[in-house]
Each structure stands twice: as structure tokens, then as C-alpha cells.
Structure 1
Amino acid sequence: MTLRKTLFVALLLAVVVLPATSNATITRVIGLGGEDANFILRDAYNSSVWPQLVKHYGMQSGMEFYTHDGWDLQKAYVNYDFGTESSVLQFALDKLNHRNYGMLAGNELSDLDNVPGGYNKLNITYGRPMGDDMLIGVNLHWAGKSLKTNEDGGDFDDSYSEIGLMLGLTAMEEKLDVSLGFRTGGYTVDHGGATLAEADGASDIMLAGRYWHEASETYSIIPSLALGMHTDNTKMGDASNEYGVTAFRLGVGNNWTPKENLLVISELGLRSISETMKPDGGEETSDSEMDIFWRIGVESEIFPWLWGRFGAERDWVGATWESVVGQPEWSSSITSTYVGATTRWNRFQADLLVHPSFFGYGPNFVSGYTDMIFTRASVKINFDKE
């Protein structure tokens, strides 16, 4: 078990699970420097972090396409707007790319993982105003999967489920966004009447906040903070295995609009992950990882119907793994780059993330390039656009 398998905890606080904005979909966010850039984009609505902001983005519907076990439609949502001074309600169908619990269950959940369709997920998000400058919101999600069979005379009954609640508040003339989330899950692997693995305490607590300081009409400074605590204990027969993670994120970013229809963003921050494991009858070990990150992103209008953007993120990472033989300590730097575009036509909008190899080979009729042109696409229709 390594920290590379637990990075999802940090992403809980940063990943844009369900985008629904006038232009800041998850594909646009990634194109400006990675998924974590959603903390410093004002219109990067994120139901898993800021559910209250759905109030600003009613009257639209959209879909998400990306590669996970093959290119596929991964999410679909629709927003219902009940009026200027009233609420917005969003329904969404999507998938968990990976289950969040059962990390120490070994291969016992592999049959369930291999069932086609992913871990299906239902999201309901509600946001409404409170007074002149406050918003409140709530996001509720449920995900799960099950498998039953009596193949070869044996009874197999495997199941996994999780439910999560996120509460959000926007205040101080909509400069302050805060949220508090809870999630719990359970799973059982029952073969032939014997329980091979089951959850023995699986939960998360998440806290996030950010503040928009408008230094001038064209420049804003955005400090942000996120904290997550994850517990995933497993019982396998008479053995109990304990597993926990604490994730922390602190960043300071900025938005600069030097010209009309031109945006420049950057962020400097720190991420920390601490992971503890205690197998039944064994000693507790602790792995830790810390990285300093810096991101930049630029986007601009090219034509009225076409926008272009690029972004990059550099991570300076250091880690200590007590759970690995030899207890290695290592450090490295990782750079990720992104290029994207947005095209609009009437009510329709498509945000696209370009495959990096496309720039090296060009279109198929020139080079015979057969890989994907785009690695991700977010499409939507704005109902209230004339």
C-alpha cells in the first residue's frame, strides 16, 4: 500500500465532480492548469465543494465525456431554475471512477470492480439565496453496486454503497465560500455464507473555504484552504485492519484580466497527505507525502465563437514510506501541461481538452495519426440564451 493509492483523498477536496456553469466546466478548469484550479476560478462551480453556487447557474443541461476504461459518456445533468429570488435544483447521473472504500480488502472486491458500468452515482444539488448577499446549498449523493450469483453451486453476494452530504454557505457580499461535508460507506463480500470482507468503519469529513479579495477592477487575490479526514477500516474474517488518511491543502491564487476577454491565473500552494495503516496483529506504519505546487493558466477569445487556453502545473514532491521495505525517502518534481478550446453556437457550448500527441502528429490525413484528438469534452445547452 502506497500513498499513490490514496491521492484520491486530496482530490476529494479539489476535483470538480459536477460542473454546471455558463463557461467553467471541468474541461475548461483542467485546461487552465489542472483540476485543482477550480479553487481560483470564480465561475468554476463544484457541487462536491461549493453546492450553494448552483444558484448562479440554473437553466442549463450538460454532459461529460472522458477516458476511463475507454472513451464514454460519464455524466449528465439538468438544472431547474425556480426564479431570480428563488432556488435552483440540479439532478445528475454519473459514476465513481474508483470506489472510495475497501482499500485494505485485498482482491476480495475485484469481482465487484469488474462488473461493467462503474459505480453508478446519483447527485442532487440545491441552492438558494438568504437575504441580499448570502447563499446556502446542499449536495446529496449516493453511489453503489452489487453482485449476486450461485455459479457452480456457490452463493456469492457482494455489495458496495456510499452516501455523502455537503453543506455550503456563501457570505460577505459573495466573497467568502465555505463548505462542510460528510460521507460514509459500507461493503460486504459474502461467498458461500462466509463473510470474507466487510467495512468496519468507513467515513470522511471534509472542510473547505476560500475568499475573494478584489485588489482592483482587474486583479483578485484568492486564498483557499481544504482539509479532509478519511477512515477505511476493514474486517476480514476475525482479522481487523485499520487505515486512515489526513489530507491538507493551502493555496494563494490570483485572477488577472489585463484586457477584455483575456484571463490570466496563477496559484502557489502546499499539499500534505499523511497515511497510517495497522494490519491485524501488526505494527502501525505511517507514510507521508508533501508537495509544493505552482500553476499558471491563460485563456483568450480568438473568434466570437472560439476561445483558446493553456495551463501548466509544477509539483515539487517529497515522501517517506514506512510501509515499504527499506522505508524509502524520495523527492521529485512533476510538470503537467494542458491545452484546450471552447466553441459556442447559439445555446450550445463545447469545452475540449486536446490530446498532447495531436500537436506532434497533426490530423490523420497528414500523418496517419490514429489516437484521440481530445481526451475530455464537456458539452451543454443554456436554456435561457436567446
Structure 2
Amino acid sequence: MMNPTPGDRLSAYSANGAHGSVLVINSGSSSVKYQLVNPIGGEAIASGLVERIGEGEGIVTHKFAGNTTTARPVVPDHGAALREVLGMFQTQGPDLEQSNIVAVGHRVVQGGSYFSGPVLIDDDVLGKIRDLIPLAPLHNPGHVAGIEVGRALLPDVPHVAIFDTAFFQTLPEAAYTYALNAEVAREHGVRRYGFHGTSHQYVAGKVSRVLGRRLEDLNQIILHLGNGASASAVRGGKAIETSMGMTPLEGLVMGTRTGDIDPAVVFHLHRNAGMSIDEIDDLLNKKSGLKGLSGENDFRALHELIEQGDEGAKLALDVYIHRLKKYIGAYHAILGRVDVITFTAGVGENDDIVRALTAAGLESLGIAVDPVRNEGRVKEPRIISPDWTSTLVMVVPTNEELAIARQCIALVDEDPAEV
């Protein structure tokens, strides 16, 4: 008997999610995002956020059936946070037992070199995620806590780890290797891992489906522009380059992160400014980028400042766009031919000014944006380039929760004996 395709697997689930839904959990250091997803229709049946874990009074927000419920309980740890989540489902709906959860999908930022795809979580997998904490000290501890508590509270449902880094395990050795002493790099796991992989993979596939072209035939540049931002070069559905590195700090200018910077800046600030390593870490990750240059990391506020004549805000935007253009040029050279450039995530989907400025001046590469097609926020996939260009420019909204849910379904159905 032939194995079912992912599409066949999905067809077994009802259109309203009642006969097969996935609970997607993104457990951070001080927050837990969650979404109950219908893997067929793609909609969020319910969603929510627990904030301020371990900070005294927390904030829990739960959305279901057009209603938003907010509570402010004490949330001392991730166990309490997930108990609050289950409590919201019980009191505000939908009933999780009637929703027939077939899997719980856990987003994990760092999968190292261990994981190239989704994996059913057992004690060995959890141990490897814990071992990777030194590579992702801001993220993986929260993921470990969320997985531990989630498995305890929902023990009869398979739990699946989906890794931000997995899509980039196809990078060529020349792309993921830093020119660092090879022995030191091997011993400490220093290499390019890449992040936002779930989004990049989802968008690459969505572009193929929207255009009605085989994924294997497309060369793509994908620009995931949110508060965190990353670019990828994708050939035939496989990533061959990406801007983030061993950590999410490298690459594009971001909301509060520097992106690419001379590593000697760290030595300089330590020796001459007397800053500790932790202080420099905080500076580069949380007090730099757009916010460090202009005081704002919200593009709406940034554009308002520019309209008021604020030179710092204008410089911040110029630096942001300059870096984007540089990566597009570099990836154009690596790919040799670019069929599609796609904007996605919060800034990419909503900021037509950023999209227009990014494409401006790239006409000689066959890249341009039509001002009418580009106008406004984009909620559905849209081509925004004029008809004459050799490279399509698109906006495709990302949906990482749906991507996680569908990867969970495919994995769980692949080996039902494991469930």
C-alpha cells in the first residue's frame, strides 16, 4: 500500500478542526504563546498569550469565537503558565477534549546540528534540546520548561519539536562554516545555524503554490522582516544561504539588534568602555538596531519621526534599507538567477514604504515594485512588481503556527505506532 502524501494526511481532518487540531506552543523565557490550529483550513481556532512569567502578577490573554478574555493571575513559573492556558480552554473554550488534539507542537529556536526536521519528543530529544542551551541561552531554557510541563499536563498526546534551525541544515558547508580556527569551532559548535526557518520554508512553498510553479524550479530570496529579521536564498526549495548565524544577532538590521557588526567592537567596548560581556550582549541584542539609532523600533513611529524631520530616524531607515539591498545583491550572485523575491512577517507584510525603498535602484537586476500594486498592508499573497520585470516581487503573509501544525500532522501520521 502506498504511503499517504501530506495532503492525503490532512484530508483526514475535518474542516472545522473538531476531528483533529494541533496545539502549538511557543514557550519563551518569560512568556508562552499558544494557538489551537485547524491544519485543514489553516485558521486559528483559539489563541492566546501568557506574559510576565516569574514577575509577580502575570497577564493572560485568550481569544476564541470573537471574544477576548484577560486575566491577571500570579504566574511564578512555566508550570503555572500552562495551567492557566488549560484553564482558559476549560472556562472560555473550546473544550480541548472535544477539539481532539492530535499533537502538541513546540517551537524550539535552536536545534543545532542534531535536528533537520520535526521530531517526536522523548527524554533523549529533550536532553539534546537541553544540551543546546549554551548556543541559545535566551531561548532554549524556556522551550525546555514548556516541553517538560506540557508533557506532564498533556501526557496522552504526542509532543513534537519544530526547530527554527532545521530548514537551514541544507546549507552548503561553505555557507555554514566560519573562518574560525577549525578545532575551536568543532569543540564549541560554532557555525551558521540560521533562524526563522519555519517561516522561510512555509513562504517558499506558498510562493510555489500561488504561482502554480514547481518548487524545484524556483530560485527565491525570502525577506522575513519583523522585529527580528532574516533573509534566505532558496534554490529548488532548499536553503543555500541565510543571514542569521550561530545566533539570531547576525545579519540584517533589526528592531533592537545590530545585525552584522565587526566582532572587534566587543573587544573595544570591553577594553575602553569598561563594559562587561553581559552588558555588551544586552547592548547588541536589546538596545541597538533601529531602537538604538532612533529611539524607536516600531516602523509606524519611525515613519512619523521622519516626517517630522528627525535625522536620526532617517539615518536608521537608511541603514536598514542599505543592509537589505546588500543581502539581495549577495544572494542574487549566489543563486545566479532570482525568480522571486518575497517580503513576509510584520514589517514585510505591512510596510509599503520599506518594500518600495528596498527595490528602488535595483531595476538593472530586473527588480522593481509597482507603486499601485505595492500600496498598503497585504493580507493575502500578492505580486507587487510591474509586468516587465524578470524577477517577481511578492508579499506572502507567513503563518508559522500553521506550518508547525502541518509538520506535526505529517510526522504523527507517518508513524502512528509512535503515538
Q: TM-score, normalised by structure 2?
A: 0.25
Q: Which has the higher helix share?
A: 2
Structure having the larger proportion of residues in strand = 1
